[in-house]
Amino acid sequence: MRKALAELIHARLAPLVAEFVPNPRDFFELQTTPDPAKGDFALNAAMKLAKPARTRPLDLAQKMVAALAAETAWFTKVEAVPPGFINLFLTDEAITRELGRFAEDAEMGLRRDGRPETVVVDYSSVNIAKQMHVGHLRSTIIGDVLARVLSARGDRVIRQNHLGDWGLPMAMVLWKATPLLRDLEAKGLDPARELSLAQLETLYREATRACEAQPEAAAACHDILVRLQNGDAVLLQDWRTITRLSMREVYRLYEELGVLLTQEDEAGESHYRDSLADTVRQIRESGHLVESRGAQCVFLEHFKAKDGSPLPVIVQKSDGGFNYETFDLAAILYRIHALKASRLIYVTDARQALHFAQVFDVAHVCGWTKDPGRPVTLEHVPFGSVLGEDNKPLKTRSGENVKLADLLAEAVERARAVVEEKNPDLPEETKRQVARMVGIGAIKYADLSQNRNNDYVFSFPRMLALQGNTAPYLQYAHARICSIFRKAGLPADGAFGPPRLGHPAERALALKLQELPTAVAAVAAELRPHTLCNYLYELATQFTSFYDQCPVLTCEDPARKQARFFLCRLTQRVLARGLDLLGIDAPREM
């Protein structure tokens, strides 16, 4: 609806101001009004354009009102109010007409105008031989939502899991694991069956301790790293074994979380091993490489140490080795040239903000983002930490990182109690399924519904509450609508209508439903999933208020009843679509 309305407004108002501003469209943004007495939408165009038009805002607003007043199919009233705002009051017919169109669109108005863009979303990006903990949760689920949202808008999304699989930690695990692997082989056993990720993690921890205490251990690990990076066949084979073993458990968690990442999306640090030298060469050719104390560096203007001296980005160490930075620079070239992306998005902890700012700046000064004849944008999507009830980063009682697997299991178990309380008569199998949807959904939603820049306190009771801005609340709203159809003996995916408005709660719901594309567009622009969460929560609340005031099943007027079924069905679809964009299941009963 907004799109159609915006077109109309542009067509009527642009001629009034075209001689004063080149791009009037930018000024006609429709705003939602705080209360219905001020109309359904407002425009502040006259406020912003009065100055270039050399007139008073109210005078310009009145002129604009006069140009819109004839559109009686759209407006019951258009008014100019001091100091120069314009309030638009829509006709019920306009709302239902646009609502009908919205309901007929299989894409639910989500497709954006313009050419699709190729977007890389780098997320999850776990490290091999370490179990996923809550820190990886945020990258994984925020990144997944961004990938879903951008592809729903029509962009070509390429997911990239930039695994930490080619650095010293890997060498340290290999140092400890190699003898074990040989031993298993001698016994004719399959390491993939015999070893777990938890064991690998223990080996890594042992190696860390050894390297700290004994220089020989550190030297041995460094030697392994060099041999691995030089392509030692046996080490490469072991490296592969460990990577697959490690990722097997990661995929188990992705599946449980309903995350889209697959093996095809893997492009870890090792993926760039043969292009690192070339990356450095390209930096040299652009004239920005400087040797400093034997290391190859780029000095950037914006990054200074505390004493004002320029801070180097080291792209090749004095021993010839490469850094985390170099891998990311190689990845940028690959994503721009091989993947042909024009938008690169990186979802990591805020603590990596400086890393990305520097890497992006190197890419910009080297001209890589202008090179391919299309502008390339690089965006870091940072997020805060998950805290425990003590406001410190979430840890187990013994002070260890909380394992994601344990967290998910506990959420599902606790959700089971919620289902049991809400609907004890459900068959056992359904209870189990619903508990999974609710438990996993609750964890994801609690994370996604926060402005990602903030830290948040992890709390099972809060995220599983059936009231408030939680997954169970939205899931329950969805299930409740499905149960309305069940009670009426109607198919849940039936078509109803036509829409018709009578009660103010119907009108408010009809308007709210059509705001889905706006909420999703905001997520795509700002890369903040909580905007969509807030929208869905408002929608569910609006639906509750409609359902409290407007009887559906007991409605006696058949046409009105059909129109209410229409609103129910559309609300159910919008909730399900919105939850799906968040990667959360919408149960049909609960």
**CB nearer to ligand ARG: pick between 328 and 447:** 328
Residue 521's nearest CA partner among 32, 109, 40, 11 is 109
Query: Least distance (Å) from ligand ARG to the CB of residue 522?
Result: 25
Q: Encoding tokens for residue 281? A: 């060469």
Is 452 exposed, middle or buried (CB count within 10 Å of its CB: 0-12, 13-18, 19+)?
Answer: buried
Q: Encoding tokens for residue 398? A: 């013994």
Is position 585 an interface residue for ligand ARG (rule: CB under 6 A)?
no
Residue 53: phi, psi to the nearest 5? Answer: -85, 0
- Identify each DSSP E strand in 479-572 by its residue range: none
Give the count of beta carbons closer than 10 Å to the beta carbon of residue 199.
15
**CB nearer to ligand ARG: pick between 122 and 447:** 122
> What is the number of residues in the chain?
590
**CB nearer to ligand ARG: pick between 55 and 323:** 323
Is position 328 an interface residue for ligand ARG (rule: CB under 6 A)?
yes
**CB nearer to ligand ARG: pick between 161 and 571:** 161
Query: Least distance (Å) from ligand ARG to the CB of residue 117?
Result: 19
**CB nearer to ligand ARG: pick between 127 and 282:** 127
Query: Least distance (Å) from ligand ARG to the CB of residue 359?
Result: 8
Span near ligand ARG by CB under 6 A; candidates 121-129, 142-150, 552-560, 578-586: 121-129
What 525-530 contacts at long range (C-beta under 8 Å, 24+ apart), as own/partner pairs, is 527/146, 527/345, 527/379, 527/381, 528/451, 528/452, 529/142, 529/145, 529/146, 529/149, 529/448, 529/449, 529/452, 529/582, 530/448, 530/449, 530/450, 530/451, 530/452
Query: Least distance (Å) from ligand ARG to the CB of residue 308?
Result: 28
Q: How far apart are alpha carbons 395 and 446 in whole angstroms?
A: 18
Answer for which of 87, 96, 118, 125 binds ligand ARG (CB under 6 A) is 125
The CA-to-CA distance between both ends of the chain, in Å, stands at 33
**CB nearer to ligand ARG: pick between 348 and 369:** 348
Per DSSP, 322 falls in state B
Is position 348 an interface residue for ligand ARG (rule: CB under 6 A)?
yes
Q: How far apart are alpha carbons 393 and 408 in whole angstroms?
A: 18
Give the count of beta carbons closer than 10 Å to the beta carbon of residue 165.
23
Is position 164 an interface residue for ligand ARG (rule: CB under 6 A)?
yes
Helix (H, G, I), strand (E, B) or coil at 75: strand
Directed axis angle between helix 2-17 and helix 92-104, to 10°? 120
* DSSP letters spanning 418-475: HHHHH-TTS-HHHHHHHHHHHHHHHHHHHHHTS-TTS-EE--HHHHT-SSSSSHHHHH
Is position 360 an interface residue for ligand ARG (rule: CB under 6 A)?
no
Answer for which of 166, 254, 346, 368 binds ligand ARG (CB under 6 A) is 346
Query: Least distance (Å) from ligand ARG to the CB of residue 227?
Result: 22
Q: How far apart are alpha carbons 29 and 41 in whole angstroms?
A: 10
Q: Encoding tokens for residue 437? A: 């949807």
Query: Least distance (Å) from ligand ARG to the CB of residue 580?
Result: 26
Query: Least distance (Å) from ligand ARG to the CB of residue 407?
Result: 18
Q: Encoding tokens for residue 209? A: 């301790």
Is position 506 an interface residue for ligand ARG (rule: CB under 6 A)?
no
Span near ligand ARG by CB under 6 A; candidates 97-105, 120-128, 173-181, 205-213: 120-128
**CB nearer to ligand ARG: pick between 386 and 479:** 386
Residue 314's DSSP bridge partners are 297
Is position 131 an interface residue for ligand ARG (rule: CB under 6 A)?
no
Query: Least distance (Å) from ligand ARG to the CB of residue 328?
Result: 5
Question: How many chain residues interact with ligand ARG (CB under 6 A)?
Answer: 9
Query: Least distance (Å) from ligand ARG to the CB of residue 228?
Result: 17
Span near ligand ARG by CB under 6 A; candidates 119-127, 203-211, 336-344, 551-559: 119-127
Answer for which of 30, 85, 86, 122 binds ligand ARG (CB under 6 A) is 122
Query: Least distance (Å) from ligand ARG to the CB of residue 330?
Result: 10
Answer for which of 162, 273, 436, 560 binds ligand ARG (CB under 6 A) is 162
Per DSSP, 217 falls in state H
Peptide bond connecting 169 to the previous residue in cis, omega within 30 degrees of 0: no
**CB nearer to ligand ARG: pick between 452 and 564:** 452
Span near ligand ARG by CB under 6 A; candidates 59-67, 122-130, 149-157, 221-229: 122-130
Query: Least distance (Å) from ligand ARG to the CB of residue 246?
Result: 13
**CB nearer to ligand ARG: pick between 119 and 567:** 119
Q: Do the Cβ atoms of 450 and 456 come closer than 8 Å? A: yes
**CB nearer to ligand ARG: pick between 169 and 472:** 169
**CB nearer to ligand ARG: pick between 122 and 506:** 122
Footprint on this chain of ligand ARG (rule: CB under 6 A): 122, 125, 127, 162, 164, 328, 331, 346, 348
